[in-house]
Amino acid sequence: MGAKELITAGKTALGIEFGSTRIKAILIDYDGHVLASGVHDWENRLINGIWTYDLADVEAGLKSCYSSLRRDVEAKYGVTPETFGAIGVSAMMHGYIALDKDDKQLAPFQTWRNTNTTKAADALTELFEFNIPLRWSSAHLYQRILDGEEHVKDVASVFTLAAYVHYKLTGQKVIGIGDAAGMFPIDSETLDYDAGMAAKFDALLKDSGCSFGLRDVFPKVLVAGDNAGTLTPEGAALMDETGRLKAGIPMCPPEGDAGTGMTATNSVAPRTGNLSAGTSTFAMVVLERKLSKLHREIDMVTTPSGFPCAMSHANNGTSDLNAWVNLFSEFCGLMGIKADMGELYGKLYTHALTGDPDCGRLLAYGYYSGENITFINEGRPLFARMPSSKFTLANFMRVNLYTSLGAVKLGMDILLKDEGVKLDVMMGHGGLFKTPLVMQKVLAAAVNSPVTVMSTASEGGAWGIALLAAYMADGKSSGKLEDYLNARVFTGLTGEAVNPDPEDVKGFETFTRRYVAGLDVEKSAIEAMKW
């Protein structure tokens, strides 16, 4: 069957991912080939010190993104999609969406970017003897309790963004295990919330006067391949403004952007890893064994199938880098030069490779928000240099590329150097890898390992959640998720591996020492810049 016939017959999989700055939809066949796409741009807001999105914008963005995809299908194939073999929803992990028994929102949606949960995260880490990062939903819930927020007594549901959207579309209070691992610790043997820690958490909730336990308010955990409900008539109407989309479409478990990144890079088996570069930047390594001890810099999460996975997650990635490129675009306009943004990014990034391996002793921090890996709870974007630094455009761009991986590298150093974690392959994906070879070389220098970027790298998590939907609909006959990906999706895809350059590795290590030493400057800026 051709693409038009597959779409008409509903033998396709649709993935929708809510990223930090863009909601993206990807329509694929069951072998992963992209048939159509749609986008909707949006942005988080800082309101009363909280990074948030209005839930009305979530629903509007979903409808706009699906409409964009529908129009793309109509333009390419002359048909309007009315059904799919399966749908999957993904989104930024972590955070806190609290609803009451009538599904009324009780408090502002707190995204992963918020770091106002230090007391709760510290207390839960000590209680569980397991790292609970500031971003995790359990830390947000317990912090609301510690702060005595009135709404807590009415909490009936706590969701991540992906689980919330899935609930709106299906009425099912469920979550994929990878996304659940950003809410509460997971037991990879039982494929559920860790029972011992859940009992401790329930006792803590009871002592705090709560009438509910963990499983009363957190969604049920599912794994890749499970059926997570079907699209309801209300969900279909929420997605499709034309009313053509039919109810009853099966939906796969909603996943977080870490799980979809692993899927999109075929990094779901032990000794594989990937780095997703965007507004936040995180590196994932699937483990063969448990880590030797607790590290507050490292999140322990899972693949969509439940394999234990170590994550080095930086809250800050490309935001400041994008701001500098926009400044150069503004300068071009001032000079009467019409600059294509894609070309501008490409030229600046490529030029960075001509800079000094140590960035000419320049230093930068793209901290728009707090950074958990470096234990800094607020952000102040900074650029600094010595009088004797080599202040060139190439070095300036290079230091901003380096610093987009600065915090992530500290976490990866713990895994690769301190813990001796084995890594056979490191995959890169996300928009930062669109310019050929540049970020591959930078990442290879950071982790001192070969880095591969597939031809599908820029499709990102929307493609990953579409693959998870396709696996549920038609891929389980191939075996496990990794078997399906190897046999049907990644067999014909091309990718080029870049080996680390010894001089670049040495230069990145020098930059890292300066990055760590300069954190006191960042802390001082937070204290001094309160306006």
The domains spanning 93-237 and 266-455+494-531 adopt the same CATH topology: yes
Kindly report the CATH number that applies to the domain delimited by 266-455+494-531.
Answer: 3.30.420.40
Confidence class for position 458, pLDDT limits 50, 70, 90: low
- Six token digits for residue 135: 């971003």
Given this model, what pLDDT does residue 386 score? 96
pLDDT digits (tens, 9 = 90+) for 140-193: 999 999 999 999 999 999 999 999 999 999 999 999 999 999 999 999 999 999
Q: What is the torsional sign of CA 63, 66, 72, 73?
A: negative
pTM reported for the whole predicted model? 0.84
DSSP state of 376: B
* Rounded-to-integer distance, Cα 490 and Cα 185, Å: 31
pLDDT digits (tens, 9 = 90+) for 16-38: 999 988 999 999 999 999 999 99
Listed as own residue / partner, the contacts of 472-479 with beta carbons closer than 8 Å and 24 or more positions apart are 472/86, 472/88, 472/224, 472/225, 472/226, 472/227, 472/250, 472/252, 473/13, 473/30, 473/85, 473/86, 473/250, 473/252, 474/11, 474/30, 474/85, 475/30, 475/225, 476/225
- Greater confidence (433 vs 110) lies with 110
> In this structure, which amino acid lies at residue 418?
D
Given this model, what pLDDT does residue 457 score? 64
Strand partners, 116: none
Confidence class for position 113, pLDDT limits 50, 70, 90: confident
For residue 409, report the phi and psi dihedrals to the nearest 5 degrees: -60, -35
- Greater confidence (113 vs 164) lies with 164
Class of domain 93-237: alpha beta
213 and 205 Cβ atoms separated by less than 8 Å: yes
- Domain definitions of the chain by residue range: 93-237, 266-455+494-531
User: Which of 267-271, 415-419, 481-485 shows the lowest per-residue confidence on average (mean pLDDT)?
Assistant: 267-271
